[in-house]
Amino acid sequence: MDKKTVAAIERHFPGTRAVLQRELTESESFRGLCRDYLACQTALARWQETDSDEGRLRSKEYSELLAELTEEIETRLHARET
């Protein structure tokens, strides 16, 4: 995973740098989860700029997905802290 991507993830999950680095190094599934998180965030931002019924619908869907991905990442990080 490139440094720019890692830095973006670190900004979204402050205070977890050490465990985040460990997970990114050791777990391909976690790296995939982080890529999905960033892709979802990008898509959400794009749909939020669209002023249409579809844009509002997609924004809602991506917001919900982003919340789920955030929770999953936080769960993984907290599990590794202990």
Question: So what's the pLDDT on residue 80?
Answer: 81
Instruction: Indicate the pTM of the whole model.
Output: 0.89
Could you write out the three-class secondary structure of the chain? CCHHHHHHHHHHCCCCHHHHHHHHHHCHHHHHHHHHHHHHHHHHHHHHCCCCHHHHHHHHHHHHHHHHHHHHHHHHHHHHHC
Q: pLDDT (tens digit, 9 = 90+) per residue, 13-54? A: 988 989 999 999 999 999 999 999 999 999 999 999 999 999
